[in-house]
Amino acid sequence: MITSMVVGLLANYPEFALFLSAMGFARTINKPLFALIQAAVNATETDVDNKWWNKVQEHKVMKSVFWLLDWTASIKMPKGK
């Protein structure tokens, strides 16, 4: 019953299906990507890249991008140290 309702909803509203697909794609790519970047930055012995990555994360544009990703796709970006 639920399956037929979901399939009917997606068939009648292809824009919604596109939105769900885009949200899933964003979650699949962005969260592991940013977690990998954070792990690479934390793995180095020097603090130069940590300071640079924290500066990038604190930039207004990146904060806006992170907020937009969180709001649209519920992607919580990892925080720096």
pLDDT number for residue 68: 83
Global pTM reads 0.63
Domain ranges of the chain: 22-81
45-52, long-range: CB < 8 A, 24+ apart: 50/80, 50/81
pLDDT number for residue 81: 55
Residues 6+ apart with CB under 8 A from 49: 41
pLDDT number for residue 65: 83
CB 41 within 8 A of CB 80: yes
CB 36 within 8 A of CB 75: no
CB 31 within 8 A of CB 74: no
* Binned average pLDDT, 10 residues per bin, the chain of 81 residues: 86 88 84 88 89 90 84 68 55
